[in-house]
């Protein structure tokens, strides 16, 4: 049980029916599981309209700020403001927790790295990690308010698309270890420069405790700017990871063994070797940050390495699916969750590493790049060529720049939107192909998955 009537009463400073208790906090009635608490928030839709649905789904109680006809009184927690109530519950859980808090942000790899830290630490203690990509002003407090009291390690992802957002999230989480996975041109439309993005990501370090630890990528071209911000914030405990020879956790070697990869890392004088089913090199690089965090927590690196046996890529973030269509077989690299210049370049490198005689790249626009959009799309042309893709299907107005610059030796097509592409897929794919799917969420390339039958 995550919430009792007593703890709810204390957190919200009201008297809650003593029969009420609850598990995780949900704001989407469709996500409610048996025993959860539903909180009615107002946004694009008014959550109060779904309070009854939440109870039918199995919620133990609903948190609302107005009377709703038909709701059983003994299942209702009435507050003045549900968003304020959520923040109070998050603050209460953070104050009560004895866990070690780890914050994760970055332009690329934050969700995958957060999930990997969770997988590794689960074999070493009681772990809580933020759900999915719940990393904004609603997601972070929802996660905090859903945290059990006996957690030893709490991992929170923090995202942003404008200055000040990570500062506010970090004040809620108050991480003792904060990690930046990488910095690139993501969300450049909302910033004056990439340096402004670095500054916004560096907000995760602003309110760290005196003994707080920063973990940063030594091989990132904006390392100096991150370091400048750390000095400005007075953070003294700084550790680095990456491929650079002088990184505290060094990613030394990536060997493609076909269906497996062999990875070699070095921390201090200790060399660590890991063999895994095939993972992209950008994941392998971020494993060096994960291993470093294990060391900084004072945990056993040998035991941590064994936990990598539980690692697997997830839907939308690089998982390969075997699918069929009209008795033809395909493999899909499902990396459609989102895209920016660094992540798309990494996906093309992934495609390059995979051994297949018929490679196809489906590439959607990278959004929110502002006035640099055209050039950043053009910068991908050589990477597409190097990937070995013999056929390239481009979606969205910005990707037309790529289409016009690809050589005629590549079979290429361009579509204004994903629905137009799907309407022509029968003519464009032949079977026995490895198909990379990568683009910004707004391009909705995930709809392509529905065209196929997953084996």
SS3 of 51-78: HHHHHHHCCCEEEECCCCCCCCHHHEEE
Eight-state DSSP code of residue 42: B
Q: Are residues 202 and 279 in the same domain?
A: yes
DSSP output for 280-327: -HHHHHHHHHHHHHHHHTT--HHHHHHHGGG----TTTTEEEEEEETT
User: The tokens of 205 are what?
Assistant: 């370090």
Range of lowest pLDDT (66-80, 175-189, 433-447): 175-189
User: How does pLDDT run across 259-292, given as a tens digit for each residue?
Assistant: 899 999 999 999 999 999 999 999 999 999 999 9
User: How does pLDDT run across 187-200, given as a tens digit for each residue?
Assistant: 777 788 889 999 99
Instruction: Supply the CATH number for residue 18's domain.
Output: 3.40.1390.10
Closest CA to 151 of 130, 177, 125: 125
Range of lowest pLDDT (12-21, 128-137, 381-390): 128-137
Count of C-beta atoms within a 10 Å radius of residue 80: 9
Structural domain contains residue 407: yes
Q: Are residues 323 and 306 in the same domain?
A: no
Instruction: Supply the CATH number for residue 230's domain.
Output: 3.40.1190.10
Give the pLDDT band (50/70/90) at residue 177.
very high
Residues 241/249, Cβ–Cβ less than 8 Å: yes
DSSP output for 164-185: THHHHHHHHH--SEEEE----S
Which structural domain, as residue segments, surrounds residue 106?
A: 97-310
How far, in whole angstroms, is CA 366 from its chain's centroid? 17
**Rounded CA separation 317/336 (Å):** 7
Q: Are residues 136 and 224 in the same domain?
A: yes
- Give the CA count within 13 Å in the CB-facing half-sphere of 347: 33
Q: Are residues 268 and 301 in the same domain?
A: yes
Q: Are residues 24 and 114 in the same domain?
A: no
User: How does pLDDT run across 212-227, given as a tens digit for each residue?
Assistant: 999 999 999 999 999 9
Structural domain contains residue 89: no
Residue 361 dihedral angles phi and psi, to the nearest 5° = -115, 120
Q: Are residues 235 and 279 in the same domain?
A: yes
Q: What is the predicted pLDDT for the residue at 189?
A: 76
Interval 321-326 mean pLDDT: 95
Q: Are residues 258 and 354 in the same domain?
A: no
Judge whether residue 338 has pLDDT over 90. no
The residue out of 244, 279, 310 marking a domain boundary is 310
Q: Are residues 300 and 326 in the same domain?
A: no
Structural domain contains residue 92: no
**Rounded CA separation 262/250 (Å):** 15
Structural domain contains residue 185: yes
Give the dihedral sign, CA 206/210/215/219: positive
Q: Are residues 193 and 294 in the same domain?
A: yes
Residues 23/93, Cβ–Cβ less than 8 Å: no
Structural domain contains residue 195: yes
Q: What is the predicted pLDDT for the residue at 373?
A: 94
Q: Are residues 104 and 34 in the same domain?
A: no
**Rounded CA separation 343/185 (Å):** 10
Structural domain contains residue 85: no
pTM: 0.92
> Taking all residues of the chain, what is their mean pLDDT, rounded to a whole number?
95
Eight-state DSSP code of residue 190: G
Q: Are residues 38 and 73 in the same domain?
A: yes
Judge whether residue 314 has pLDDT over 90. no
User: The tokens of 160 are what?
Assistant: 């942003």
Non-local CB neighbours of 203 within 8 Å, separated by 6+ positions: 160, 163, 164, 165, 166, 167, 170
Residue 350's SS3 state is helix
Q: Are residues 174 and 288 in the same domain?
A: yes
Instruction: Give me the helices (H) in 81-238, please.
Output: 82-96, 110-122, 139-144, 165-173, 194-201, 223-233
- Give the CA count within 13 Å in the CB-facing half-sphere of 332: 29
Judge whether residue 382 has pLDDT over 90. yes
**Rounded CA separation 130/94 (Å):** 13
- The share of the chain scoring above pLDDT 90, in percent, equals 90
Residue 159's SS3 state is coil
Which one has a higher pLDDT value, 317 or 65? Answer: 65
Structural domain contains residue 133: yes
Structural domain contains residue 87: no
Give the pLDDT band (50/70/90) at residue 37.
very high
Residues 454/321, Cβ–Cβ less than 8 Å: yes
Q: What is the predicted pLDDT for the residue at 420?
A: 98
Instruction: Supply the CATH number for residue 333's domain.
Output: 3.90.190.20
Q: What is the predicted pLDDT for the residue at 248?
A: 98
Total count of domains within the chain = 3
Give the pLDDT band (50/70/90) at residue 207.
confident
Q: What share of the chain is helix, strand, coil (3-state, %, to 5)?
A: 40, 25, 40
């Amino acid at each position: 049980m995550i919430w009792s009537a007593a703890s709810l009463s204390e957190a919200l400073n009201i008297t809650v029916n003593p029969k009420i208790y609850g598990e995780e906090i949900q704001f989407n009635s469709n996500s409610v599981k048996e025993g959860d608490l539903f909180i009615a928030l107002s946004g694009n839709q008014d959550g109060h309209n779904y309070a009854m649905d939440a109870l039918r789904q199995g919620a133990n109680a609903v948190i609302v700020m107005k009377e709703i006809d038909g709701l059983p009184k003994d299942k209702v927690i009435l507050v003045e403001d549900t968003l304020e109530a959520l923040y109070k519950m998050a603050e209460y859980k953070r104050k009560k927790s004895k866990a070690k808090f780890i914050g994760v942000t970055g332009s690329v790899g934050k969700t995958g790295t957060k999930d990997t830290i969770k997988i590794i630490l689960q074999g070493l203690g009681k772990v809580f990690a933020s759900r999915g990509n719940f990393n904004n002003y609603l997601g972070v407090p929802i996660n905090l308010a859903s945290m059990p009291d006996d957690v030893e390690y709490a991992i929170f992802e923090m995202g942003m698309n404008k200055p000040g957002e990570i500062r506010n999230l970090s004040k809620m989480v108050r991480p003792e270890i904060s990690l930046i996975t990488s910095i690139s041109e993501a969300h450049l439309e909302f910033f004056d420069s990439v340096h402004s993005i670095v500054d916004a990501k560096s907000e995760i370090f602003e309110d760290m405790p005196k003994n707080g630890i920063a973990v940063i990528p030594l091989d990132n071209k904006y390392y100096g700017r991150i370091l400048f911000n750390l000095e400005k914030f007075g953070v003294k405990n700084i550790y680095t990871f990456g491929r650079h020879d002088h990184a505290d956790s060094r990613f030394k070697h990536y060997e493609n063994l076909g269906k497996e990869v062999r990875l070699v890392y070095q921390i201090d004088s200790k060399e660590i070797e890991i063999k895994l089913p095939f993972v992209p090199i950008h994941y392998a690089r971020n494993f060096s940050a994960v291993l470093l965090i294990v060391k900084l927590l004072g945990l056993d690196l040998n035991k941590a390495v064994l936990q990598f046996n539980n690692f697997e890529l997830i839907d939308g973030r690089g998982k390969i699916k075997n699918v069929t269509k009209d008795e033809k077989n395909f493999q899909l690299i499902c990396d459609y969750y989102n895209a920016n210049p660094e992540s798309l370049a990494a996906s093309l490198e992934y495609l390059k590493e995979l051994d297949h005689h018929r490679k196809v790249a489906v590439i959607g626009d990278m959004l929110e790049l502002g006035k640099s959009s055209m050039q950043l799309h053009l910068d991908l042309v050589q990477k597409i060529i190097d990937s070995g893709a013999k056929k390239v299907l481009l979606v969205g107005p910005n990707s037309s720049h790529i289409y016009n610059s690809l050589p005629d030796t590549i079979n290429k097509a361009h579509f204004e939107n994903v629905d137009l592409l799907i309407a022509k897929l029968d003519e464009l794919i032949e079977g026995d192909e490895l198909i990379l799917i990568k683009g910004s969420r707004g391009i909705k390339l995930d709809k392509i998955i529905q065209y196929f039958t997953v084996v």
